[in-house]
Amino acid sequence: MSYHFSSGGIRLPEFSRGNRKTQVGSTKHFTGGLVLGENESVRLGTESHLETNAALLLSYRPTTLDLVEQVRFSWYDEHGEYFDHFIDLVVTRVDGTVVGYAVRPTSRVSHAYQCKLARIKEQANAQCFLDDFRLFTEEDVCPIELHNAKLFHSVRRPDDFADPVAQDVLSGAPVVTNIGDLVDRTRLEGMGFRAIVRLIRSGHLQMLRHERIERSTEVLRARMI
């Protein structure tokens, strides 16, 4: 994703901040990448479909402030020998806590692997490198949350025309309404829908139920623009 500026130039996203470069291609497993951020965007590489889904889910949670992939941590085994472990995803939350995630399907989670993660977690916590270290599997992927995260991701780029219109509509709308009503008030159809979704993402609107974001979704005006 690139951004056009009034001067006619294009600004490319920043390079990944991870400590290890992810594979660009593989004949044996999925590889991919995301561009995260609304304005100052940054690249994030992934090496499995599950890792991509995890990155989307974690990056668009309201508690997430920042997300970095492949973060190096040096740990030692029971014999005192040191190794480098690259933590798949590291989330810095809005409350300042830092949580690492090892992303792996349950079919590849052995007892030995769990023991290794437990040792890394203990050392990372003791060194204040992480506040928590968790295993993320396919069982942690909520289809509803993933759908909404993909939607947030697809509309992340601001719209200088539609966004002010949606904000003006919100200021005069009922405290509780539905997305379709707000979109109709904008008279912008698809552009209006995307602008309303961005208001949910920014926290100005809050969903009343855990559901896929659609025109029928009821929302609460959480705060004024």
- Model confidence pLDDT, tens digit, residues 116-158: 999 999 999 999 999 999 999 999 999 999 999 999 999 999 9
> 187 in a domain, yes or no?
yes
Same domain assignment for residues 112 and 68: yes
pLDDT digits (tens, 9 = 90+) for 92-107: 999 999 999 999 999 9
Same domain assignment for residues 62 and 163: no
Question: Which regions in the chain score pLDDT beneath 50?
Answer: 1-2, 5-6
Q: What is the DSSP string of 73-103?
A: EEEE-TTS-EEEEEEEEEEEETTS-EEEEEE
Q: Which amino acid is at 220?
A: L
What are residue 2's phi and psi, to 5 degrees? -115, 165
Same domain assignment for residues 56 and 132: yes
Domain span at residue 53? Answer: 32-141
Same domain assignment for residues 78 and 115: yes
Domain count across the chain: 2
pLDDT, residue 37, reads 87
Using a pLDDT cut of 70, give the percent of the chain over it.
93
> 2 in a domain, yes or no?
no
pLDDT, residue 10, reads 73
Cα–Cα distances in Å, from 21 out to 25, 47, 101, 136, 182?
A: 12, 10, 17, 21, 43
- Whichever domain contains 176, its CATH number is 1.10.10
Residue 44: CB atoms within 10 A of its CB come to 26
> 16 in a domain, yes or no?
no
